[in-house]
């Protein structure tokens, strides 16, 4: 069976594909990247994938090709613990969509993310943590539909769902943070309203989905969705947040 991939987040350009190739060929060896440690992949290589290894059991995408659909900048990947490598993985979503991501793989265990729907907001949590010997982990992101809103407006609309104070609802804004990558935002107070606040430590504002420097919190827009990451203070992560990509395979 052949698959046509309909990316739901544009990774950009030929440059985006090129850095994905660098990731596969340069940062980790092909054997390390494509080892059969991911529990969600088929157990034997599919010949139709040729040198791209096995297929994911759910989406049917060739595992080695999946990085070409991810938004990867090798220079911005989180650090890895000794003995770990980045492994492409997938998680199912409603409506036939699939979440692709780079997962940490350590000592034969590959991190698995889980998508859970909700009445107002969906969530992404760690179902199995490679950094913690396969134990379940915490919620790492919330997901909301973007609708027909522009990226800035979509982020602010979703962030307001976590605001309880009227002043936050009236004053907080969404701003881009290019240092974290394209389509990345933070919900914060305007500069003029921060002028009188102490600036000698981590800043926080705008309630649950706002700025929180201590816990590495920010938003990303994935075409039809907005995702809020709250990654805590740990030096090492179970997955590469920038790599999250939503696709829809079609046979």
- pLDDT per position as a tens digit, 100-152: 999 999 999 999 999 998 878 999 999 999 999 999 999 999 999 999 999 99
Q: Where are the domains of the chain?
A: 4-145+225-250, 151-222
**What is the 8-class DSSP label of residue 54?**
P
Best CA proximity match to 227, nearest among 211, 209, 213: 209
Q: Are 188 and 173 in contact (CB under 8 A)?
A: yes
CA 210 to chain centroid? 18
What's the pLDDT band for 177 if we cut at 50, 70, 90?
very high
**CB under 8 Å to 125, separation ≥6 — which residues?**
113, 114, 116, 136, 137, 138, 139, 140
Tell me the C-alpha distance between 220 and 181, whole Å: 9
């Amino acid at each position: 069976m052949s698959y046509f991939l309909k990316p739901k987040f544009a990774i950009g350009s030929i440059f985006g594909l090129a850095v994905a190739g660098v990731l596969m060929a340069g940062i980790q060896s092909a054997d390390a990247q494509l080892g059969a440690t991911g529990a969600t992949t088929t157990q034997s290589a599919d010949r139709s994938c040729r040198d791209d290894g096995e297929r994911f059991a759910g989406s049917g995408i060739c595992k080695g090709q999946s990085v070409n659909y991810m938004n990867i900048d090798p220079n911005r990947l989180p650090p890895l613990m000794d003995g770990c490598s980045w492994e492409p993985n997938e998680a199912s979503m409603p409506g036939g969509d699939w979440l692709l991501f780079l997962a940490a793989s350590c000592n034969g265990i590959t991190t698995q993310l889980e998508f859970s729907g909700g009445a107002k907001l969906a969530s992404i949590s760690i179902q199995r943590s490679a950094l913690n010997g396969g134990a379940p982990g915490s919620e790492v992101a919330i997901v909301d539909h973007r609708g027909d809103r522009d990226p800035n407006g979509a982020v602010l609309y979703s962030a307001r769902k976590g605001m309880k104070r009227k002043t936050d609802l009236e004053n907080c804004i969404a701003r881009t943070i290019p240092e974290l990558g394209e389509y990345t935002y933070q919900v914060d107070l305007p500069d003029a309203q921060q002028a009188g606040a102490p600036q000698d430590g981590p800043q926080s504002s705008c309630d649950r989905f706002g700025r929180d420097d201590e816990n590495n919190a920010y938003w990303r827009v994935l075409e039809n969705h907005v995702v809020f990451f709250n990654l805590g203070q740990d030096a090492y992560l179970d997955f590469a947040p920038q790599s999250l990509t939503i696709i829809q395979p079609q046979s």
